[in-house]
Structures are given as C-alpha cells and as structure tokens.
Amino acid sequence: ESTRTGCAVIVIAHSCAMTDRGVHRRLEPIRRSLSQRSFSRRSLSTCSDVGRIGAVGGGASVGGDGDDRDGDDSDDSTFDFDVSTLSLVSLRNAYSRTLLDRFYEEIMIPTFPLEDERDDLEDWVCGLDPRVRSDDDGVAMDVLVLVCSEETTDGADDRCGYDFKDDDGLIIVAGCAVEYYIRSNVGLVSYVAVSPNFRRLGVMCTLNGEAQRTLRQLAVSHDKTPRAVFAETNTVDAGDAPPEAIEARHKALYRLGYRLLEFPYKQPPLAEDGNVFGNIALLVHCGVSNKTEVEHQIDTSIIVEFVLDFYGSVFGYEPDDLQKYEHCSYYKLVKWFETRNSITAIQYGLPFYDVASRFENEMREECGADAH
C-alpha cells in the first residue's frame, strides 16, 4: 500500500489484498453480471445511496438531484468496466488511508450524517492502521471494500488481483465493516453498503459471506470460534428512510439469514460523550437454509456480554470504568432483563421491530422510579 502526498494514489499490492483463489472464484458471478451492464458516467459521479447493514439497499439519497442546469458539464456517455479488475480489499491486511478516506467520505458520511449513529473515522484508523492498531482494547476489526477499475490493468495476474494505481479510475462498488469482540467472543457486521449502481448483481450476498468469513478468521486468530454473529438494523420508527425502504432493507437482511432477537437493544454510545441510539433492532445470523428453523433461542448471557463488551470498547475495561455508564438507564435495562430471562427468543418472521420499548415499559411498571 502506498500513498503519495499531493496527489491521490492507491496501490494495492497483490500479496496484501484478499486475492486468494477462493475469493476470486466467489466474485465471478458479480463479474458476469457487470459484464452485461453499461454504466453512465453521470450516475457514478454522484454520491451513493447506501447504508449500514441496517440500511441495506437504501439510506438517505445524497448527491446530485438529477436536474439539467445550464453549464452542467456532466458526462452522459456510458462505459463498461474492466471486470477482470474486480477485487475485494481487506483494509486490515492491505491498509490504505486513501481508500479508507474515500469509502468513509463517499459512503459513510452521506448515509449517516448523525455522528451518534456513525463510527468516527479516527477510530477506524486506530483499528486498521498496523502502525497504531492493537487488539488489546478488546475489538479486532476489518473494513472490506469491493473495488473495480474503468481502465484495463496491464500485467495483472489473472488469479491474484490487481494494482490500482490511478485513483481517478477506481470505483467503489460496495463495502462492509466488521468487528470481532474478543472478550465476549462474538462478531458484529456493523455496516454493509452497496452503491445503487451495483444492486441486483448479487453483491450484497457475496459481501455478507465475506464478512462472515472474516469474522471467523479474526476469531481463529485468537484461538476461538465465534459464539454468534450479530447485526443492527434501524426500525421503521427510526425515520431515516420511508417505511417502504426500511421494509425492503429488512427483507434483504432476512434473505441473508438474519433474524430478530427478542432482546431490549439500543446501540450503546460510540464515544464517551455520545448518546444511546434507539429505534434499532439487534439481529443474529442464523444462516440461509430453507429448512425448518431449529434454533429458536440463544443464551441471554451471550448478548449481555456483547453489550458490556461494546460499552467497554468505548469507556474502557478497567473496573473503575464501569462507573462511567452503570447509572445509564439502558445499562440498567440490560441488567434487569438478564436477571429475568436466561434465554432470549429468536423471532422467525418480519418485520424487524423495536423490542426495547416493550421491556422498558415492563421495567418501569415493575421498578417505578428506580428504572431511571
């Protein structure tokens, strides 16, 4: 990986990108779909309408409004990608600050303008940059970026991936962020984003599969096997998109094998001075088998340990750090639920709804003022 001051340059070395034969083979269906579609330069010059795994297939549409104004020099011509350059880049294994910045600026910020809902870029840098990252803070992460080039890359190895040396010709097709929580031994697929230009190509399914594999690899590096893989999704009441768009997200997640946990979940603060984010549901990945669902429950302790691990990753893991959030109303709700429910049910059906509000009301009726 190389960056050059004064000009945007990305070099993804063959030996560092996720370019093994397996990944190359799993991307082949997307290559075939790409080869059958032409793209407008105008559409690719606007900001993408993408989202966290909770906003699959949507999010707030940001970018050009499509109006033809006087003096608009947008290019309406079409072009075909060099589909042989389609590659999946692990920013943990092939760190590039330039590519990370582009993914964050072009995808994350337009989709998540509220800071309380979006991971801070510098936190990602600390989790990915090999010069500063450490898993001692309890979380190992990766950001996978699916990229393609408009230009033909000469001299590339057909089975191993490609060097993208010209940032101007690099297109970000999709990306996802995953976090492995070491103490609780669970994975979180925190963000999955697919540009609208590349939907209905099988990108979402492929990227989710790579996210699951990456989480397993992160766990194996700590001599473990993940006890569960979670994901978050905004509910219809979150208001970040029209109800029909949110319902479409839920259906997409359901097809990928995610199911709703009957657990009172709110996203813990992403920073010490941040806020808890509500109107969100916690999902667990149960696979994509069409066979009769067998597992209808999960040990509550697994979820609670994940939530506490999440808090610890923000506030610290030392005993004295607990006092920073033990008086938080959501922390109290989690501990109240744990004492009354050793098992959490898995809901097999749609829609994915807000579970927390129901249990908040139950705790309030039972505990009164002590619930606050």
Tens digit of each residue's pLDDT (9 = 90 or more) over 206-264: 999 999 999 999 999 999 999 999 999 988 887 767 888 889 889 999 999 999 999 99
User: For all residues of the chain together, what is the average pLDDT?
Assistant: 77
**Do 127 and 177 touch, CB atoms closer than 8 A?**
no
Nearest to 208 by CA among 247, 245, 258: 258
Mean pLDDT of 180-195: 92
CA distances (Å), 184 to each of 3, 211, 342, in order?
Answer: 36, 18, 16
Specify the pTM: 0.81
Q: How far apart are CA 241 and CA 247, in angstroms?
A: 10
User: Helix 300-315 vs helix 329-340: angle between axes, to the nearest 10 degrees?
Assistant: 160
Q: Which has the higher per-residue pLDDT, 169 or 19?
A: 169
Mean pLDDT of 23-33: 86
Residue 336 reports pLDDT greater than 80: yes
- Residue 250 pLDDT: 93
pLDDT of residue 326: 83
Residue with the bigger pLDDT between 298 and 31: it is: 298
3 state DSSP class of 308: helix
- 86 — phi, psi (to 5°)? -60, 120
Average pLDDT estimate for 310-339: 88
Q: 26-40, 108-122, 152-166: lowest mean pLDDT where?
A: 152-166
Q: Which of 64, 87, 232, 210 has the alpha carbon at shortest distance from 146?
A: 87
pLDDT in tens, 259-312: 999 999 998 876 666 677 788 999 999 975 444 345 689 999 999 999 999 988
| pLDDT above 70: residue 4 | no
Show Cβ contacts of residue 184 under 8 Å, excluding neighbours closer than 6 positions.
227, 302, 305, 306, 308, 309
User: If 0-12 CB within 10 Å is exposed, 13-18 middle and 19+ buried, where does residue 75 land?
Assistant: exposed
Task: Give mean pLDDT, residues 80-99.
Answer: 88
Question: Quick one: pLDDT at residue 61?
Answer: 25
Task: Quote the pLDDT of residue 246.
Answer: 87
